[in-house]
Amino acid sequence: MSTATADMMTSPLDATTLPNVVLPSAGLQPGDIAVIAVYFIFILAVGLWAMCRTDRSNVSGFFLAGRNITWFPVGASLFSSNIGSGHFVGLAGTGAAAGIAVGAFEWNAMLTLYFLGWIFAPIYIAAGVVTMPEYLKKRFGGQRIQVYLSVLSLLLYIFTKISADLFAGAIFIQEALGWNLYLAMFILLAITALYTVTGGLAAVIYTDTAQTFIMLAGAFVMMILSFVRVGGYAALQEKYMKAIPSVLSNNSNCGIPRADAFHVLRDPIKGDLPWPGLTFGLTILATWYWCTDQVIVQRTLAAKNLSHAKGGCVAAGLMKILPMYMMVMVGMISRVVFTDAVACATPEECRKYCGTPVGCSNVAYPKLVLEIMPTGLRGLLLAVMMAALMSSLTSVFNSASTLFTCDLWQKIRKNASERELMIVGRVFILIMVGISVAWVPIVQVSANGQLFDYIQSITSYLGPPIMVIFVMAIFWPRLNEPGAFWALMCGLAVGVTRMIMDFVYGAPLCGQDEFRPEILYKVHYLYFAMILATITAIIAVVISLITPAIPKEKLIRLTWYTRNSKEPRLEMEELNEESKLEPTLSMETGFSNKAVTGDDGEVVHNGDNAEEEPAPKTEAFDIFCGLDKSQSQEPNIPPPAFYSIEEEPLSRNIVNFLGLLMLCTMTFLFGYYA
């Protein structure tokens, strides 16, 4: 792996850089390092404050921040959890390679965040769930759908979130400091671990809020300086179309900007992001991500009430306007400034500039930072990248440990003590990190060097079936467990087949003849998402209609039509009588209790807590990790029968108006740049 150096910020990288030689970097000055040091002190202070503020000794405190977060921290955490270092590197890189169309992925989020706040969140809150697999278990009964979704979500976190963000953050540090890629990733993980493993969701959300201010401030300054450097938007339109590298492949269009680079909606057949796929296929993927993914939904479940959850969705949606200008167009400016490096058109040239033959667009953002940012601000932008990476990783780590602990470990250890659950959740984070680092080399060579395309294509193969089942579960009460399960299995088989074919065949380098089957290069991944969603829905309908329906009294507060009901709900019965004595996870206390249910499904007796093995006292460790029971001030009370989604009229009217404003803004942006 060639190590990048910033010794000559105004010239291409040294082609003679040896694979394992770390060269000194002049990219960062003492002023930059001071800014980074202040940043880390500030973030650690916020994280420690949040750790001390919240009871982390139970599931509600550790995984849902005590359900007491107001709208702005919810919105800031939604935004920063989504905007990782992969966005700075991936959006800028795809913008440099193909123009502004990739920015539509950000604007589409305004629609799906509206779906989250106004359709999905009310159902999840009324159902009283901690995780998304738990909702499906309540909705359908059984355990196989819950286990399947938990495992698949964890795999997606590894393949599309953690490894991609690690790689992107390491690229930035590699460019700035000349460090080895894997050394940079190790440093990033060590920095992130402190408050993630110990602080729980409260520390994550409050540090995310601080990170959001840092990201927006640094990225805004970078955007202004970039547009000043290129001469404004009109100049960017002119200069980008002329940003052709000096070395081109024979008889190909490699390295030549697309004619539709400044259009969001592109040709439905020949476009790299065809407009029907961008309109419908992207909405399918975005609904899966924003409305059914644990990382995102967990933030709305931590809100004080439904109005605060909606307000957080609006805040995040309006902030999603900015990445088009702060990242995509900045990447296009980087192509103008570093045409030969960022837009390299031959494997030899790309290998010379960034060490990989598939393209160098991923270095667009970090190279421009080192070129135009003055001392101090250069350190600020490195801190911004750290903030983006850390906020994204901490969110994924916390949500992954939530899934594993609540949905999988309790299946293995039904009488696990609360202390055991808290420790297992933290240890599992370390295991995920190791697997993610091992996957990074695959990320590096995928999607022709365009990181964002890699992430989106993987999700288009695995996400649509999940989205379809959640939507049908909410809006079609007739959907039952066999229909949902077998539809998911068939969707998984089709999606994995396409994904394996993609990895086996790879993609031809620019200028090479097409060698893949037509199903790969003629069916865009956004079109494939539409096809896969349709197949899943048809199978779910057919199997549900030929198998018994779920009784209506078991669907109360689990569908759109029963979300406001205050009637008692009969829980789904398991397939055997022994399941009437099963561990339940209280959303309020988070404690694993034995609940004995009568024939009508009502809880008639709460047993004693699972017996805990006496453990040696390590008071400092327990207090630091939030495992000290004496720190908890909340009594171990039973959960309420249901969670209210009622809103005060004034708050409801305000968030409804702001939600409508957000949708109008999205419509205007798509129309203006169409």
Q: Model pTM?
A: 0.79
- What's the CA gap between 142 and 574, in Å, rounded? 6
Q: What is the mean pLDDT of the chain?
A: 76
**DSSP line for 1-33:** -PPP--SSTTSPPPTT--TT------S--HHHH
Q: What is the pLDDT of residue 596?
A: 39
Is it the case that residue 42 has pLDDT exceeding 60? yes
pLDDT, tens digit, 9 for 90 and up, residues 644-659: 788 899 999 999 999 9
Residue indicated by tokens 């407009």: 275
Structure tokens at 118: 């106004």
CB 321 within 8 A of CB 103: no
pLDDT, tens digit, 9 for 90 and up, residues 549-565: 999 989 999 999 998 88
Residue indicated by tokens 């009622």: 646
Q: Please list, in sequence order, all residues whose beta carbon lies within 8 angstroms of the beta carbon of residue 362, skipping any fewer than 6 positions away.
A: 89, 90, 93, 168, 171, 354, 449, 450, 451
SS3 of 572, please?
coil
Q: What is the pLDDT of residue 324?
A: 93
Cβ atoms < 10 Å from Cβ of 192 = 22
Count Cβ atoms within 10 A of the Cβ of residue 183 and give its class: 0-12 exposed, 13-18 middle, 19 or more buried: middle
Cβ atoms < 10 Å from Cβ of 509 = 18
Which has more confidence, 77 or 443? 77
Domain residue spans of the chain: 30-552+652-673
**β-strand partners of 606:** 595
Residue indicated by tokens 């809020």: 209
CB 137 within 8 A of CB 145: yes
Q: What is the pLDDT of residue 594?
A: 38
Terminal alpha carbon distance of the chain? 40
Closest CA to 195 of 41, 404, 44: 44
Amino acid at 147: V
Which has more confidence, 243 or 476? 476
CB 178 within 8 A of CB 25: yes
∠ CA(41), CA(317), CA(106), 5° rounding? Answer: 90
Which has more confidence, 314 or 382? 314
Is it the case that residue 171 has pLDDT exceeding 80? no
DSSP class of residue 404? I
Which has more confidence, 499 or 165? 499
CATH topology of domain 30-552+652-673: Sodium/glucose cotransporter (1.20.1730)
**DSSP line for 423-457:** HHHHHHHHHHHHHHHHHHHHHHHSGGG-HHHHHHH
Closest CA to 220 of 353, 413, 377, 450: 377
Which has more confidence, 359 or 465? 465
- What's the CA gap between 452 and 110, in Å, rounded? 19
- Output the CA–CA distances (angstroms, integers) from residue 224 to 333, 336, 363, 372, in the order listed: 11, 16, 19, 11
CB 414 within 8 A of CB 420: no
DSSP class of residue 328? I
* Helix axis angle, 282-292 to 525-545, nearest 10°: 70
Which has more confidence, 141 or 625? 141
Closest CA to 549 of 141, 124, 119: 141
Q: What is the pLDDT of residue 106?
A: 93
∠ CA(356), CA(358), CA(359), 5° rounding? Answer: 85
Within 13 A of 52's CA, how many CA atoms are on the CB side? 5
∠ CA(134), CA(290), CA(269), 5° rounding? Answer: 125
pLDDT, tens digit, 9 for 90 and up, residues 73-131: 899 889 987 887 667 777 888 888 888 998 998 999 999 999 999 999 999 999 888 88
**DSSP line for 40-103:** HHHHHHHHHHHHHHS--SSHHHHHHGGG-B-HHHHHHHHHHHH--HHHHHHHHHHHHHH-GGGG
DSSP class of residue 250? T
Residue indicated by tokens 């420790």: 423
Closest CA to 310 of 120, 471, 162: 120
- What's the CA gap between 667 and 605, in Å, rounded? 54
Q: What is the pLDDT of residue 198?
A: 54
Q: What is the pLDDT of residue 375?
A: 77
Continuous segment of H or E residues that includes residue 610: none
State residue 256 phi and psi, 5-degree precision: -95, 125
CB 125 within 8 A of CB 306: yes
Is it the case that residue 333 has pLDDT exceeding 80? yes
Provide mean pLDDT across the span 626-630.
Answer: 48
Q: What is the pLDDT of residue 487?
A: 96
Task: Give whichever of 176-190, 378-392, 448-462 has the largest mean pLDDT.
Answer: 378-392
Is it the case that residue 660 has pLDDT exceeding 80? yes
Cβ atoms < 10 Å from Cβ of 516 = 15
